[in-house]
């Protein structure tokens, strides 16, 4: 499984740092939705789903967390620890976000508006959707 991590260009001086993200320049899709997670309790895992068509970039803009990506054949854990790195999550990819630091803020840039029918929330249904037998979890 190929994991695509983007290193965004920080701009800064003695006043601090700034990262600017532009669709189709830094982000490989049109950004239709932005949301973020914070105050995630210790030991909590978020996600447990895949999307049929939605693409995302995840950026832990404060603190750190880990992302488990699973394509039905292989599973990888990717740490997000820097506010200038983003993880591309393609459609048809099971994702779980976990091990949030107490100060973590996970920003998500999404290619589509919220659409419940795009979610696959059952792992076996995910495997059926992508045409895989067995589990990689």
Q: Answer yes or no: are the C-beta atoms of 109 and 56 closer than 8 Å.
A: yes
Give Cα separations from 63 to 84, 101, 108, 109, 130 (angstroms).
12, 6, 15, 18, 33
Of residues 24, 49, 51, 62, which has the active-site annotation? 49
Q: State the Cα–Cα distance between residues 125 and 137, nearest whole angstrom.
A: 13
Buried b (16+ CB within 10 A) or exposed e, 90-108: bbbbbbbbebbeeebbbbb
Q: Is 62 a catalytic residue?
A: no
Return the active site residues.
Answer: 49
């Amino acid at each position: 499984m190929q994991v695509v991590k983007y290193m965004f260009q920080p701009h800064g001086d003695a006043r601090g740092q700034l990262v600017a993200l532009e669709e189709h320049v830094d982000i490989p899709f049109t950004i239709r939705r932005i949301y973020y997670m914070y105050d995630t309790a210790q030991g909590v895992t978020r996600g447990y789903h895949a999307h049929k068509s939605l693409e995302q970039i995840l950026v832990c803009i404060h603190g750190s967390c880990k992302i488990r990506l699973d394509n039905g054949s292989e599973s990888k854990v990717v740490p997000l620890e820097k506010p200038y790195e983003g993880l591309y999550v393609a459609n048809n990819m099971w994702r779980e976000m976990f091990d949030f630091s107490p100060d973590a803020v996970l920003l998500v840039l999404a290619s589509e508006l919220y659409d419940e029918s795009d979610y696959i929330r059952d792992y076996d249904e995910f495997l059926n959707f992508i045409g895989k037998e067995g589990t990689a979890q």
